[in-house]
Structure formats: C-alpha cells, structure tokens
Amino acid sequence: MTDGQDLLSGRLLVVAFEGWNDAGDAATGAVRMLKDQLELTQLFEVDPELYFDFQFNRPVISTDAEGKRRLTWPSAKLYGPAHPGEPVGQLADDAEMRISAANNDNVYLLVGTEPSRSWKAFCAELLDAALTHDVSAIIFLGAMLADVPHTRPISVFTSSENPEVRQSLDIERSTYEGPVGVLSALADAADLLDIPTLSIWASVPHYVQHSPSPKAMLALIDKLEELIDVVIPRGELMEQAAEWEQTIDSLAAEDEEMAMYIRQLEAARDTVEAPEASGEAIAREFERYLRTSDVKKGPGVASEDPKRTAGTDQPRRAAGEERADDSSKATRDEKPGEHTGGDDEGRDAEDDSEKD
C-alpha cells in the first residue's frame, strides 16, 4: 500500500483538462503556468483523430513567431524533465526560487482538452505513457462553478480515494455521486492500477463564469505548493487576481441586484465559517437566505444550503459538474477549440431551482 509520504516522494503527475472540470480556466491555467516556469519537454501526445470530435472541439488557427499560419488541434500532452535526475535550475529570473532538492526531477504535467469519445482507451494510453516514465502518483486539478462570493478566499476541496493518503495528509474522501468528467475516469483507471491519486478542486463564483479566474488559479497553485515539495513563482498572478476582484466590485457597484446577491453569499459564508457558529445559528442564517433568495434571487443561482456550499464544497461541486456539460456547448461558439465548463450556468441553475 502507498501512504501519503510515498505520494509526495515519488514522481508526481499533475493533471488538468479543459472543459467540464475547468471553470474559469483555473485548473488548466495553473498547470500551464507551472509548465512555463519549469524546464520541461514534451514526452507524449495522443492522436487527436482517435478521441476528438472536431465539430465539437474545433482546431484553432494562429500565426507563429515566424509569421506562418498553423493549426493547433485539440489534444492531450505529457510533459516532463528533459534530463531526469539533474537539477532543474532556477525557475524565474525575477525571483530567486528553485525547485527543492527533494523534488528536482519529480514533477510531470498532463494538460489538454477533455476527449469527445473513447474515454477508456484515452485513459489507458495516458496512464501507459505515465508509467513508462515511472510516475508513481497523480494529482488532479479541477475547478467548479459554485454559490460563493468573489470577495472571500477561494474555497479549495482536497480528497483522495486512497485511505493511507487521506490519513497521512488529513484530507477527506469525496462523497459526490453523479455524472463525472474525464478526471474521474482517469482517477478510476489509475486506482485499478494501484496508482495513488489526489484531487484538488477550487470553487469559482458562478456569476462571473464567462471570464478566466486568476484568483481560483492562484488558490490551486497555493494548495499544490502546500502539498508537494516545490516552490512556484506567482509572477503577475497575484496582481491579476486583485484586478479581477476589483473589476467585479465595479460591476456590482453598478448593479444593485448583483450587489445584494453577493452580500447574501458573504453573509452565508461568514456565518458558516465563524468560530462561534452553532448549528442553530447556521440554520437561522440559511432560512433568512432562502427567504431573501425567493423574493429576489441573484443572477442564475438556485437556493442551496450554505453549509454545503461554503463548508465542504463537495455537494456544490456536484451541482457545478451537472451543469457544466451544457455550459461547454455555449462556450465553444465564443472560443473555438476550447471551453471552460462555465457557460449557461444561470439558465440551468434556475431550472434546478424550479425542480426543487
């Protein structure tokens, strides 16, 4: 059996996919930022013809540095150290930060687009490539739309199916039941091969679903850095996160309905997280939240128990995942070749509330 310390001491594969599991581009943004900072080389790429519907995930044309027009096809790529076993070196010229000696050749990355078909074969091919490079554990990054305020720290939920990992890292097991994305399929396939996995999910405010969320990206990077022995330079990300929050503040200042809804989310979050909060106090706050929400509901949100939204994140993640499929369809019209798993949230959430 593998314990939590074994998870952190071997070669780690950090995984993120565009689509259902990537609200606000937070998960793939975090992995791509890590790729930009590390001296990694491409080790493997799946054949796009086998796994993608190009009418759903269209190729993107762009101009490269030499002025040539090139197509970029949806895919999934594995990256790793060019010379495993040698020091990776300095991460950034503007920051005296290096990968620690304990993890100098441990970090591998897998990033791409969620496939349209043949998920089992897709997972088997990627895991075979990972095992070829002696990857011993996998960390999945995801982001979900949730009823959370943008003015508070981004909630991050960490879970594992491995009991030794949970005990060592003092984390929970996911209790979600329902439709899943390719991250769960890949995690299930890894579990069958006795590869320990760890999942890190960030909650993205659903009312800003159409824009990338650097604050959620920063939260994922903070948690990843906390769990593995690696220092990740933030660059301009902290400034971008502050600007993102200020932009939403400005929009809310001009929209009283939005501002009122954000205040409701803040009150619910603060009540749940207050040290002195009792079950009765939380219940009273929830009843007040429901009354105000029924009278004047915020943009595109279903009433939900704030204890489940701000406290554990996992039940709210389920709701976010259930709506993400429709959301990706809207996004592909706006951004050919990629989708964030965030669009159409409002309409689907209102449908959910009517069912309740």
pLDDT at 249 over 60: yes
Query: Which pLDDT does position 280 carry in this prediction?
Result: 57
Query: Which pLDDT does position 218 carry in this prediction?
Result: 94
pLDDT at 53 over 60: yes
How far apart CA 313 and CA 20 sit, in angstroms, is: 17
CA-nearest of 49, 69, 50, 52 to 60 is 69
Query: Any idea what the Cα angle at residue 265 is, between residues 261 and 266, rounded to 5°?
Result: 115
Q: How far is CA 219 from CA 86, 169, 225, in A?
A: 29, 18, 10
Query: Any idea what the Cα angle at residue 337 is, between residues 331 and 339, rounded to 5°?
Result: 35
In the chain, % of residues over pLDDT 90: 53
For 185-244, the pLDDT digits (tens) are 999 999 999 999 999 999 999 998 778 999 999 999 999 988 877 778 888 899 999 999
For 116-167, the pLDDT digits (tens) are 999 999 999 999 999 999 999 999 999 999 999 999 999 999 999 999 899 9
Alpha helices in 67-152 (DSSP H): 119-132
Pairing state between β 197-205 and 135-146: parallel
Residue 166, judged by CB atoms within 10 A of its CB (0-12, 13-18, 19+), counts as middle
19, 47, 127, 162: CA torsion to nearest 10:
10
For 81-107, the pLDDT digits (tens) are 876 654 444 433 443 334 443 554 689
Residue 250, judged by CB atoms within 10 A of its CB (0-12, 13-18, 19+), counts as exposed
Q: Token pair 């040698």 is at which residue?
A: 86
Query: Which pLDDT does position 5 carry in this prediction?
Result: 57
Q: How far is CA 150 from CA 88, 135, 216, 248, 303, in A?
A: 36, 36, 10, 8, 18
CB 115 within 8 A of CB 19: no
Query: Any idea what the Cα angle at residue 52 is, between residues 49 and 58, rounded to 5°?
Result: 105
- 125: β partners: none
CB 179 within 8 A of CB 322: yes
pLDDT at 325 over 80: no
CA-nearest of 243, 225, 43 to 130 is 43
Query: Which pLDDT does position 328 carry in this prediction?
Result: 40
CB 98 within 8 A of CB 89: yes
Query: Which pLDDT does position 271 carry in this prediction?
Result: 81
**Does an H or E element contain 43, and which?**
strand 40-45
pLDDT at 303 over 80: no
